[in-house]
Amino acid sequence: MIADRRVVLLAAVLTSIAWGTCDLWGQQGTEQPSVLNIQHSVTTSKLGFPQFLYMYHLLDGVNSTAEARALTGTISLQNYSSNFSEVLWLLAYWQGECPVDDQSLAGANFIWSDILKNPSQSVSNLPVNLHFPHPLPITGCIGFVFGGGTLVAGKVTMSADLDLTYEPSNSEANTVVDLSGEYCFGQNWGCENATTDDNRGFGVPITMPAGQLVELFGDISDSTFDGTDNFGPLPTGKSWGAVNDFYLLPGGCGQFGNNLNRQGFPKPLPLATLYSWLPDNAQHLESVPLEYEIPPDETGRAKLQKRVARIFPAPVTVNAGDCLVVIYGRQGNGATDNETQVKAVLAP
């Protein structure tokens, strides 16, 4: 549960990088796309969100223009103790120069990310089965990054077995926009912002570039903590759940853009207020409600995760300055860590 995991992953002073280089030179002009297998597993008990980076050189390296057609496989997080843990997975490419040993990840362009959380002694698996009819832009300089682990104590194994399908391309590139965020409920600290009021939520505004919105993809992981004094309490009652809504607001972010703290993160407000701010012409792009029914005589400790893979059959026109708002809400009580790792694909 890091205040802003994206900053942590890009700050060299806070990271511990393990480098692995695999030179894979694809054949241009082949009839079938090429496939890069990305397979890594790390076991660690190190605290402080350790990070690991593996580099791949495809086609003509950083000089080549290519596109990602699919990403498939499995990622997993195994907890050897009952302590809360999490891991963030990312796929990046570089333009201009392929880094040799750049721990700051300067110039990295992230095109995919997933998040896994685990509050118990178990294995958390998530299948990755993403296909991009509107391909993602890449070069031949690819980095696979993951970081995380146990936040307080214990040991974890982070594993990935993924296939990236790609091919050379000279067509005009699509744009990938990051919609990710992390918000805590049931405690007054942590994440990008937090609230102890169960009726409050967060509306995250993202100003968009112009283009045709053709796809939303990624995952959502909403989890309790581990029930220890290190975090807020576990949920009680019959159930707990989460609200995850995506809206497109033509013309700007309106009141959502004015409701930010000094760090640029939204302040908590009643969910009813956030929904009342949506203009009549707001377009509801996606809804991902999550719910956990607490079994009788058991605790509410659980992880809720779901894949997001929404392809729009009719592209949604986005003008420069339009706003995509992600609304985070929670149902029930107790403390939860609600995180969205979702990207939007815009065609020219």
Is pLDDT at 105 greater than 70 in this prediction?
yes
Mean pLDDT value across residues 224-248: 97
d(CA 333, CA 240): 7
d(CA 239, CA 200): 18
Name the class of domain 1-171: mainly beta
Q: Token pair of 25, please?
A: 């030179």
- Determine the pLDDT at residue 11: 35
- Cα-based distances in Å from 110 to 4, 223, 281: 16, 24, 31
Q: Please, what is the average pLDDT of the chain?
A: 91
Lowest-confidence region among 23-27, 229-233, 332-336: 23-27
d(CA 157, CA 121): 12
- Determine the pLDDT at residue 32: 84
d(CA 345, CA 320): 14
Mean pLDDT value across residues 48-60: 94
Mean pLDDT value across residues 227-236: 96
Is pLDDT at 164 greater than 50 in this prediction?
yes
Lowest-confidence region among 54-63, 80-89, 102-111, 241-250: 102-111
Is pLDDT at 20 greater than 90 in this prediction?
no
- Determine the pLDDT at residue 306: 96
- Determine the pLDDT at residue 106: 86
Question: What are the beta bridge partners of residue 42?
Answer: 158
Mean pLDDT value across residues 187-201: 97
Express each pLDDT in 269-311 by its tens digit. 999 999 999 999 999 999 999 999 999 999 999 999 999 999 9
Q: List all residues 6 or more positions away from 174 whose beta carbon is below 8 Å from its beta carbon.
A: 134, 135, 136, 137, 211, 214, 345, 346, 347, 348
Mean pLDDT value across residues 147-155: 95
- Cα-based distances in Å from 18 to 15, 50, 197, 263, 276: 10, 9, 41, 30, 47
Sign of CA dihedral 348, 210, 72, 59: positive
Mean pLDDT value across residues 259-277: 98
Nearest to 60 by CA among 26, 94, 104: 26
Mean pLDDT value across residues 217-238: 97
Residue 195: which pLDDT band, with cuts at 50, 70 and 90? very high
Q: Token pair of 130, please?
A: 């993403």
Query: What percentage of the chain reaches a pLDDT higher than 90?
Result: 87
Mean pLDDT value across residues 190-209: 97
- Determine the pLDDT at residue 68: 98
Is pLDDT at 18 greater than 50 in this prediction?
no
Residue 1: which pLDDT band, with cuts at 50, 70 and 90? low
Lowest-confidence region among 25-39, 67-81, 309-323: 25-39
pTM of this structure: 0.92
Nearest to 45 by CA among 89, 4, 83: 83
